[in-house]
């Protein structure tokens, strides 16, 4: 994983089949990147649903939530609609896992993103990161603590 204080690598990924999002689009905001293995898996579904419920708390810290996995934009679209998610899910699909690899959270053995969290500050620096066991929902406490720390600066 990338170290705290490192400049977060910029990227551009599909949010929908015809819309791309860049990390740099959010310069001046805090950004939460939630890398996860796969849409439709039970732990991932619970994790993304939790973050959807936490959006109002994240927005109080001027933070944008973004989910990233190697699933396609079409798969994300169906998952987002089914779970009524109100934040972008980005497709690290082709070249497969390129962004996950840049952030040090790609699992070569299974060909998926690991379950990892990053909080990126308004200047684009990594303020906090966490690698969770794949079968464990990391929750939101670490994210909120990191966002509160950023407000103290």
CA angle 100, 105, 107 (to 5 degrees): 95
Residue spans of the domains in the chain: they are 12-152
pTM for the model stands at 0.97
Mean pLDDT of 30-56: 97
Q: Distance between CA atoms of 112 and 131, rounded to whole angstroms?
A: 14
| Topology (CATH level 3) of domain 12-152 | Glutaredoxin (3.40.30)
Q: What are φ and ψ of residue 90, in 5° steps?
A: -105, 140
Q: Distance between CA atoms of 101 and 84, rounded to whole angstroms?
A: 28
Catalytic residue among 15, 32, 44, 117: 44
Q: Is 44 a catalytic residue?
A: yes
Give me the percent of the chain exceeding a pLDDT of 70: 100
**pLDDT tens digits along 17-37:** 999 999 999 999 999 999 999
């Amino acid at each position: 994983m990338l170290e705290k204080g490192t400049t977060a690598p910029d990227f551009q990924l599909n949010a929908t089949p015809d819309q791309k999002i860049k990390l740099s689009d959010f310069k001046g905001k805090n950004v939460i990147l939630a890398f996860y293995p796969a849409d439709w898996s039970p732990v991932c579904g619970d994790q993304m649903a939790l973050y959807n419920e936490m959006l109002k708390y994240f927005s109080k810290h001027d933070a944008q939530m973004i989910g990233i996995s190697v699933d396609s934009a079409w798969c994300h679209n169906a998952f987002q609609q089914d779970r009524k998610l109100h934040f972008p899910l980005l497709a690290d699909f082709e070249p497969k896992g390129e962004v996950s690899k840049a952030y040090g959270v790609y699992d070569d053995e299974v060909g998926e993103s690991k379950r990892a969290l990053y909080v990126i500050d308004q200047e684009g620096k990594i303020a906090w990161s966490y690698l969770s066991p794949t079968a464990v929902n990391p929750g939101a406490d670490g994210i909120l603590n990191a966002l509160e720390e950023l407000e103290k600066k």
